[in-house]
A and B are shown apart, each in its own frame.
Chain A
């Protein structure tokens, strides 16, 4: 049995027919071909499937699709401007080499954006807390922290301190 679902995705309305057991990640990746959320563990541990639900970061692999009816979902595809100008976080991540294999990067960018919207001037500890739900096996954590610090106007140079 499938049910109709509609929600706002990156500013536009989308519709899908979904099973009650489908997760938001299943629907985004397999029905709507949204590429940036990643299936890393499918159990809520790694953070690579993180998307924004009404502005808050959530694990799309732990969110049943039917629960987002009428809600606002944003993925990294919405970050750059219509003219293709990168979001400052994207540019800073690129400049600092904060993406190595890149698989965890979209999820981390989501949490970083949510942090800056709720707290435009986080200190280092707040940045570390905000990205603590993301696993990066390449070990880009320091570069990620530097990139976010650069965007909030801190030096981003105090490596490892």
Chain B
């Protein structure tokens, strides 16, 4: 234990990082390597009526152009909804329409300008609250709400929330919002793909989730797992932004078609405009507290803007529903969480995936309740902190509760002197 615990340990890859010897995917150059670029939708919503790639195919230096019809397997991934390349419907600005491989990026970009597309533009919807209205433009034919097993909203219930409010002395209501974020790792998404002598497809990837990605890529390439090798491990920052396939399918499809190495890297603009985001969250909180500091009830409505396709957006709602009232024992809870489609880039994982988004809401709520009853904000947290064996709103039994001990240590580090009756408390008993 004492060999590592409590001691600083040099990074195993640290010397490579400070000498420049660490090789990232963009550092791979191969003889005869081609460069890919992707034509992306200029509109937020519409129907593609026609595409003509002959101008690009005929440009000197262009090796191949691929569109939806050139995908050997399924042109869909993530619940069979998100297309690799647009088939007809366009659901956000920046969706892939076609990919070009050429001798260099300049030629590939010139080729993109020679692809003729005809799009019938349709009115998009960007605001999730607008998208929830019955007359809103439909992002997808099934409607703008993701359907959970509990219906149009993810529901969490415990006790009787109206009874809890009736037994409370003070009620606090507040709405919290968090805007869309991009992970913005300094390394943009990039892949290098090629086939080897055994006809395996090798893809150097910046993926944070290689095994997930293999599952998505096999049906696209129509190849068994044994024919795809994803080489990864060195990532120039991910933060959740490299949890979804962004470049590997494009590089892989072109490499399979051409049997030549292909590098596909995104520009910073593409990373910001087209890759996954942490979509916006809205939380409407109502909570009730007794004068003695006991939090009695929480009623919460959450709306998460998941963008044009559901990859991990609905999962984000499920995930944060575990943490909606924080590490506190609350007898009465009602939660409804909505995952709403809009004509925006796809929402996915980012740093503390969907748990930190809700933390600030319930912690501000705790402060406001303390203020309403004239109690110290430390004390209200000690009183309500989970004890071992408490039942969380989603019926999960709390094990290894440690908030009280964490609060004591925090107070110590911050130089806050806590009163003896709080210091006498423990997570092991109430």
Stretch at the interface among B23-31, B137-145, B224-232: B23-31
Dominant SS among interface residues on chain A:
loop
Assess whether B169 is interfacial by the CB under 8 Å rule: no
Assess whether B117 is interfacial by the CB under 8 Å rule: no
Q: Which of A75, A77, A79, A94 has the most CB of B within 10 A?
A: A94
Known: A43-B268, A86-B18, A97-B11. Is A102-B29 also a contact (CB below 8 A)?
no
> Contact check: which of B11, B184, B268 meets A42 at CB < 8 Å?
B268
Closest to A87 in B: B18
Question: Size class of A's contact patch?
Answer: 35 or more
Quick check: A76 and B19 within 8 Å, CB to CB?
Answer: yes
Interface residues as binary, A24-39 with B (CB distance below 8 Å gives 1, 0 otherwise): 0000011001011011
Interface residues as binary, A90-102 with B (CB distance below 8 Å gives 1, 0 otherwise): 1101110101111
Quick check: A103 and B237 within 8 Å, CB to CB?
Answer: yes
Closest to B17 in A: A102
Docked complex Cα distance between A48 and B322 (Å): 39
Tell me the residues in window 55-105 of chain A with beta carbons closer than 8 Å to chain B beta carbons. Answer: 75-77, 79-80, 86, 90-91, 93-95, 97, 99-105
Quick check: B20 and A35 within 8 Å, CB to CB?
Answer: yes
Known: A33-B29, A38-B236, A42-B268. Is A99-B8 also a contact (CB below 8 A)?
no
Tell me the residues in window 1-29 of chain B with beta carbons closer than 8 Å to chain A beta carbons. Answer: 8, 10-11, 13-24, 26-27, 29
Shortest beta-carbon distance from B103 to chain A in Å: 12
Docked complex Cα distance between A46 and B29 (Å): 23
Docked complex Cα distance between A104 and B20 (Å): 10
Stretch at the interface among B185-193, B247-255, B334-342, B373-381: B185-193
Quick check: A109 and B235 within 8 Å, CB to CB?
Answer: no
Residues of B close to A80: CB separation below 8 A: 19
Closest to B268 in A: A41
Docked complex Cα distance between A103 and B18 (Å): 10
Residues of A close to B268: CB separation below 8 A: 40-43, 45-46
Dominant SS among interface residues on chain B:
loop
Known: A30-B29, A75-B20, A99-B18. Is A39-B188 also a contact (CB below 8 A)?
yes
Assess whether A138 is interfacial by the CB under 8 Å rule: yes
Quick check: B29 and A99 within 8 Å, CB to CB?
Answer: no
Shortest beta-carbon distance from A96 to chain B in Å: 9
Quick check: A38 and B186 within 8 Å, CB to CB?
Answer: yes
Docked complex Cα distance between A60 and B15 (Å): 24
Residues of A close to B188: CB separation below 8 A: 39-41
Quick check: B186 and A103 within 8 Å, CB to CB?
Answer: yes
Quick check: A86 and B17 within 8 Å, CB to CB?
Answer: no
Docked complex Cα distance between A43 and B15 (Å): 28
Quick check: A101 and B18 within 8 Å, CB to CB?
Answer: no
Docked complex Cα distance between A136 and B11 (Å): 17
Known: A21-B106, A101-B236. Is A77-B186 also a contact (CB below 8 A)?
no
Docked complex Cα distance between A45 and B268 (Å): 10
Quick check: B18 and A94 within 8 Å, CB to CB?
Answer: yes
Assess whether B292 is interfacial by the CB under 8 Å rule: no
Closest to A136 in B: B186
Assess whether A137 is interfacial by the CB under 8 Å rule: yes
Closest to B22 in A: A102
Quick check: B186 and A137 within 8 Å, CB to CB?
Answer: yes
Shortest beta-carbon distance from B192 to chain A in Å: 13
Shortest beta-carbon distance from B324 to chain A in Å: 28
Chain B residues in the interface with A (C-beta under 8 A): 8, 10-11, 13-24, 26-27, 29, 106, 183-188, 235-239, 265, 267-268
List, sorted by A's number, 17 A–B pairs whose CB atoms are closer than 8 Å: A21-B106, A30-B29, A35-B20, A43-B268, A46-B186, A80-B19, A86-B18, A93-B14, A93-B18, A94-B17, A97-B14, A99-B14, A101-B238, A105-B17, A105-B18, A136-B186, A138-B237
Known A39-B26, A42-B267, A94-B10; 20 more pairs at CB < 8 Å: A21-B106, A29-B26, A29-B29, A33-B29, A35-B21, A35-B27, A38-B26, A38-B187, A42-B268, A46-B186, A79-B19, A93-B14, A95-B10, A97-B8, A102-B13, A102-B18, A103-B24, A103-B187, A103-B237, A137-B184
